[in-house]
Amino acid sequence: MDLNERGNILLVDVDSGINAWLRTGLTNVWLEISCRYENYPALTVTLVEITDAELAAHVVKQFGGTGWIVRKMNLDGVTVENDRVKAAEEAESDEDDS
C-alpha cells in the first residue's frame, strides 16, 4: 500500500507539529498521523474508523479558528479561508449571510 498526503488532509502548525489523515482505500478507514513536538511520544500513527462527515466535524471542532495551516484539505464539510479552517460558528454565519 502506497500512502501519501496527495488527495488527503494535512494540517501544519509551525510551533506545534502536524496532523494528517490519509485514505487507506478501505471504506471509512483513515490512517491518522500526528506529530506534536511537545508530547511524548511525539509521533503517533493510528488507523481510525470514521466517516467523512465525522472527520469533517472533528477537524472543524479541533482545528477551526486556530493557527493551524491547511496544506491539503480534500473533505466536504470543512470551510477553508486564508489557509485556515474556519470555526464552526464562522462557517455557519457565512452560510446564513448567503
| pLDDT number for residue 4 | 66
From first to last of the 98 residues of the chain, give the pLDDT tens digit.
667 666 799 999 988 899 999 999 899 999 999 999 888 889 999 999 999 999 999 999 999 999 899 999 989 999 999 999 998 777 666 666 65
Within 10 A of 5 (CB to CB), how many other CB atoms are there?
A: 15
Measured CA to CA, the distance from residue 21 to residue 16 in angstroms comes to 17
For cell 471509512, name the residue.
Answer: 28
Q: What is the per-residue DSSP string for 57-79?
A: HHHHHHHTTSSPEEEEE--TT--
What's 39's DSSP letter? S
Task: Identify the three-state secondary structure at position 96.
Answer: helix
Q: What's the Cα-to-Cα distance from 68 to each of 2, 9, 72, 80, rounded to whole Å?
A: 26, 12, 12, 11
